[in-house]
Amino acid sequence: MSNLHKIAQIRLNLTVMEKALRGILLKAAGSQRPEAVRIEIETPKEEGFGDLSTPIAMSLSKILKKPPRKIAEDIVNEIKGQAIFEKIEIAGPGFINFTFTKQFLCNELKQLIEQKEIFLAEDIGKGKKVQIEFVSANPTGPLHLGHGRGAALGAALSNLLNEAGYAVEREFYINDAGRQVKLLGMSVFAKYKQLQGIDYPFPDDGYKGDYIEDIAEEFRVKNPDLGVIDNDKLLEQITDFAYKKMLAEIKKDLEDFGVLFDTWQSELELYKSNAVQQAIDDLKARGYIFEEEGAIWFKSTAFGDDKDRVIIKKDGDYTYFTPDIAYHRKKILKGFDEIIDIWGADHHGYVPRMQAVIEALGYPKDHLRVLLVQMVTLLRGGKPVQMSKRAGEFITLREVMDEIGADTTKFLFLTRRSDSHLEVDIETAKVQSSENPVYYVQYAHARINSIFEKARQEVIGYRQEEIDFNGDLFNDEEMRIVKKLLLYPAMFGNAASAHEPHRITFYLQELAGMFHPYYHRHKVISEDTEVTKARLALCEAIRIVLKHGLKILGVKAPERM
């Protein structure tokens, strides 16, 4: 096996099974291609059903026109001589359950410790270019918790796919050409006038919150000698100042949150570079643009949308949909093999029309994958937190980061599927116990570090890289942890394929939940040198996996707590 891509037990099991199944299929199904059959592998929910199980015999039953149990028996006969299996059993209608030998599992554990890093079972991405566009908040106010959750998801997914062999670009789309930026300017302009003692009306739909007055005051202080200036010119200056101020704040908040971007794409630049008109011309040449009732339409119903979409209104103005067409066309022209957009769940109705654009440009609709992010409800001791005074209408990401820290916030945002509603309790996030999932996982890593510090002081001749341990000394609880560790590469690969970084969060919590009780029940360092070596090796493997998983989530693995 290659040191470049060390294969964990899941992948090795698949390789053995695939070889056996191909032989069976070639003999029993003649021209039937083995690759047409999907091999499903699962971890049994009950411990008595082995380490891994497969329902492959049921899948093959119709193809081979044989009873599932007979097929299962054929498969078992093909592979039962493999030394990696302690036993192989057939259960129920034809499930095949595999139990691995302790020697095999411990050899895999040794290799994990030797490498000191995680190698996936396969190069899932194979260098494919992927762009992930996320956050993309309007530069008209502070980031709220929904933006923060999208930021945590986008950053973790970028790390996950990079590690899985994709070439990932992280992009933030700046909505700097629409009405919202103008409204920001009008809101700050009105506040500026009021600060000057002028009774100036505030826009009915203007932006609320103390930050508007803060920007107006900062503009006033930095521009004390404006003299007589035309209101239109003043509004233009204030709008530019306010927009740049908010964009800089967004960038700072994201940087402090540990989320960085490779590119920042301006909507205004799409207009200036003529990309918007070029996109319309492209779709027109393909036959998907038509004129009706004085407006210009995109024929999105040709691709399953519920109605056609206006892109240029009767008055000649573009709709908000039009620059999005140009933006996604630009993504395609940059040569990405997959485009991933992370949007708020309130934009779910926008997905069909955007995928219609992708199809109209000659690509399958799943070339664009949209991940939806539900909002976050913030609690304090089980009760909803009131609105932010600064933002006026929502709690800001900055406020939560300042109170519980960026790492804790990020981890909590990744504790559920992104399309599920999330509640975050500030008080729970501060508790140093198993109630706080972030603390529980990070403390497992820190606790293992303290074990090694003690080992260096107390175990004569101990070296941290020591891996010459006797796996036969592991008890049943330790073997359950070994098996959990060796499932990590397969879980990681599945998380990458599904674009679901929350699976890593789940796994880390489960691993920490196995380690802490084990630590309380057993002395890692004892007078028995051989048992100590084995247990230190197990702890080292746990530490490697915890550190890797936390790195993918963008969360620190503290040395001590």
Tell me the C-alpha distance between 190 and 188, whole Å: 5
- Distance between CA atoms of residues 477 and 161, nearest Å: 33
Residue 469 falls inside a structural domain: yes
pLDDT of residue 382: 93
Cα 401 from Cα 97, distance rounded (Å) = 47
Distance CA 471, CA 409 (A): 39
Average pLDDT estimate for 167-187: 97
Instruction: Single out the residue in 79, 100, 121 at which a domain terminates.
Output: 100
With a CB cutoff of 8 Å and minimum separation 6, the contacts of 389 are 209, 210
Is a pLDDT exceeding 80 seen at residue 18?
no
Q: Which of 100, 130, 157 is the last residue of a domain?
A: 100
What are the pLDDT digits (tens) for 502-511? Answer: 999 999 999 9
pLDDT of residue 64: 79
| Spatial separation of the C-alpha atoms in residues 404 and 408, rounded to whole Å | 6
- 83 φ/ψ angles, rounded to the nearest 5 degrees: -70, -15
| pLDDT, position 260 | 98
Does some domain include residue 17?
yes
Residue 37 lies in a domain: yes
Residue 434 to residues 62, 431, 518, Cα–Cα distance (Å): 48, 8, 14
Instruction: Confirm whether 196 is domain-assigned.
Output: no
Answer yes or no: is 141 within a domain.
no
82 Cβ contact list (under 8 Å, min separation 6): 16
Of the candidates 35, 48, 42, the residue with the CA atom closest to the CA atom of residue 10: 42
Angle between helices 145-163 and 488-498 (to 10 degrees): 120
Rounded-to-integer distance, Cα 469 and Cα 390, Å: 58
Look up residue 287 and give its two tokens.
């036959």
SS3 label, residue 385 = coil
Residue 8 confidence (pLDDT) above 50: no
Q: pLDDT digits over 393-424, tens only? A: 789 999 999 999 999 999 999 999 999 999 99
Task: Report which residue type is found at 372.
Answer: L
- List all residues 6 or more positions away from 74 whose beta carbon is below 8 Å from its beta carbon: 24, 28
pLDDT value of residue 23: 52
pLDDT value for 42: 78
Closest by CA position to 336, among listed 365, 368, 361, 370: 368
Least confident of 16-30, 66-80, 161-175, 440-454: 16-30
Average pLDDT, the chain: 89
Is residue 184 in some structural domain? no
> Taking the mean position of all CA atoms in its chain, how far away is CA 484?
22
Q: What residues contact residue 544 under an 8 Å CB cut-off, 6+ apart? A: 112, 113, 116, 117, 118
| Residue 442's CATH number | 1.10.730.10
pLDDT in tens, 345-398: 999 999 999 999 999 999 999 999 999 999 999 999 999 997 666 666 789 999
Cα 19 to Cα 3, 14, 34, 261, distances in angstroms:
22, 9, 10, 43
The total number of structural domains in the chain stands at 2
C-alpha to C-alpha distance for 34 and 411, rounded to whole angstroms: 42
Inter-residue contact 144 to 387 (CB < 8 Å):
no
Q: Which of 100, 131, 165 is the last residue of a domain?
A: 100
| pLDDT higher than threshold 70 for residue 178 | yes
Decide: helix, strand or coil at residue 265: strand
Helix runs in 257-274, H state only: 267-272
Nearest-angstrom CA–CA distance, 251 and 283 = 34
What per-residue string of b and e applies to 315-327 under the rule 16 or more CB within 10 Å gives b?
eeebbebbbbbbb
152: closest CA among 487, 422, 446?
422
Report strand pairing: 167-174 vs 129-133. Answer: parallel
Q: Which CATH number does the domain housing residue 94 bear?
A: 3.30.1360.70
Q: Which helix (H) or strand (E) holds 71?
A: helix 68-79
Domain that includes residue 477, residue range:
434-553
Find, among 185, 165, 188, 166, the residue nearest to 176 by Cα: 185
Sheet holding 295-298, edge to edge: 289-292, 295-298, 309-312
Q: What is the C-alpha to C-alpha distance for residues 400 and 145, in angstroms, rounded to an integer?
A: 8
pLDDT digits (tens, 9 = 90+) for 20-54: 444 544 443 344 334 556 667 777 888 788 888 88
pLDDT at 30: 40
Where residue 63 falls among pLDDT bands split at 50, 70, 90?
A: confident
Quick one: which H or E segment has residue 263?
A: strand 263-266
Q: Do residues 22 and 34 lie in contact, with contact meaning Cβ atoms separated by under 8 Å?
A: yes
> Which residues 6+ apart lie within 8 Å of 368 measured at CB?
328, 339, 340, 341, 354, 355, 358
User: What is the tens place of the pLDDT at every residue in 106-152?
Assistant: 888 888 788 766 655 457 888 999 999 999 999 999 999 999 999 99
